[in-house]
């Protein structure tokens, strides 16, 4: 206890303490917004935080959020993030292991507005890479992200957090076969248009590569690695380690967006590693526009990629004619 600090004789109730804590946090965050230290996040950006530091960030959609490093070690880091003012917005809590990422909604909604990847961490700091995500893509927050109300801040770390609720959609009895056929035709048109683009062709190539390379064996992997690197693979990149993460398939799903004739194509990685399995590329196709590829976002395993880097990687791996091309990094 600090010297010179004396508790008053009266005691506050539990609700009064919570109200006081929330008020102090809100004042602190509002004060922070007024200080010229807000980092704009309009494209992928690296941010380093000291332990217990709060960094204010300006998201591409114009809102401001507060990101706080709650705990850190060489094995990972835990964060809080919330849209300001914190008094009226839920607090989002999540933990990252090194070189892993999560999709996060800073406002606690079911649509993520950023992907956060942990680059490195120590006992006193952590460096993250933040990539903005378009809310219109409706990318769901990662399942390990938890959400709590501002008035429930005392439950943090006590097992009192509730997970983000999921939203399910069902078709109504009024949905007709004609509408279903029209939607399927729209989906097929969107896929056809996407396959005419560079990213679409590379993703189709990767889908075939992943499916073929499930036949890779340890002996083939070792001989291939020696052929392309001139020496046997070291322990971190042994077949046993690599095979636990290498994708086995790349699937695509279609969904209609609110904008008329817009289709969201979600390319998802299938892998033995649950941290890698999930959305990797999201593309919006406007089936009525000459510039049909409205936007494309690389996330999950492909976070930080673009068409050039993805194509370069595929060009290298596809030249390996045996069943281990996907296992050997360029």
User: Tens of pLDDT along 266-322?
Assistant: 999 999 988 888 899 999 898 888 888 988 999 889 988 989 999 999 999 988 989
Fold entry, domain 14-25+34-163 = Tick-borne Encephalitis virus Glycoprotein; domain 1 (2.60.98)
Rounded mean pLDDT of 187-213? Answer: 89
How much of the chain exceeds pLDDT 70, in percent? Answer: 75
Q: What confidence score (pLDDT) does residue 48 get?
A: 94
Rounded mean pLDDT of 36-51? Answer: 83
CB contact at 8 A, 62 and 54:
no
pLDDT at 150 over 90: no
Helix axes 198-212, 307-318, angle to 10 degrees: 40
How many whole angstroms separate alpha carbon 252 and alpha carbon 143? Answer: 20
Q: What is the mean pLDDT of the chain?
A: 77
Residue 224: its H or E element: helix 218-229
Q: Strands of 125-132's sheet, edge to edge?
A: 45-50, 125-132, 114-121, 101-104
Structure tokens at 74: 């060489």
Instruction: State the DSSP string of 238-263.
Output: SHHHHHTTS-SEEEEEEEE-SSTTEE
pLDDT tens digit sequence for 1-14: 444 434 344 455 55
Residue of 117, 113, 111, 145 whose CA lies nearest to 129: 117
Domain residue spans in the chain?
14-25+34-163, 178-327
Q: Which of 22-26, 155-159, 283-287, 306-310 has the lowest mean pLDDT?
A: 155-159
């Amino acid at each position: 206890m600090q010297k010179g600090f004396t508790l008053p004789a009266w005691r506050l109730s539990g609700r009064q303490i919570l109200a006081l804590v929330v008020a102090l946090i809100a004042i602190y965050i509002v004060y922070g917004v007024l200080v010229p230290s807000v980092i704009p996040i309009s494209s992928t950006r690296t941010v380093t935080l000291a332990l217990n530091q709060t960094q204010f960030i300006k998201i591409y959609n114009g809102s401001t959020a507060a990101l706080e490093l709650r705990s850190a070690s060489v094995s990972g880091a835990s964060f809080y993030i919330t849209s300001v003012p914190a008094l009226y917005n839920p607090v989002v809590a999540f933990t990252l292991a090194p070189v892993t990422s999560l999709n996060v909604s800073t406002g606690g909604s079911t649509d993520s507005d950023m992907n956060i990847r942990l680059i490195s961490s120590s006992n006193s700091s952590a460096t993250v890479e933040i990539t903005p995500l378009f809310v219109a893509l409706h990318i769901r927050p990662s399942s390990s992200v938890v959400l709590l109300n501002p008035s429930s801040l005392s439950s943090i770390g006590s097992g009192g957090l509730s997970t983000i609720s999921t939203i399910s959609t069902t078709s109504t009895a009024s949905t007709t076969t004609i509408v279903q056929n029209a939607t399927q035709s729209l989906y097929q048109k969107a896929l056809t248009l996407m396959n005419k683009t560079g990213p679409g062709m590379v993703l189709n190539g990767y889908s075939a590569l992943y499916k073929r390379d499930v036949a890779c064996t340890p002996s083939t992997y070792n001989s291939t690695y020696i052929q392309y690197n001139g020496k046997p693979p070291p322990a971190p990149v042994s077949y046993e380690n690599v095979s636990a993460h290498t994708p086995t398939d790349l699937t695509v799903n279609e969904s209609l967006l609110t904008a008329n004739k817009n289709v969201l194509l979600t390319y998802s990685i299938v892998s033995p590693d649950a941290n890698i399995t999930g959305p990797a590329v999201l593309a919006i196709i406007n089936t009525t526009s000459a510039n049909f590829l409205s936007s494309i976002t690389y996330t999950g395993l492909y976070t930080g990629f673009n068409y050039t880097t993805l194509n370069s990687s595929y060009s290298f791996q596809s030249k390996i004619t045996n069943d281990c091309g996907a296992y050997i990094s360029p």
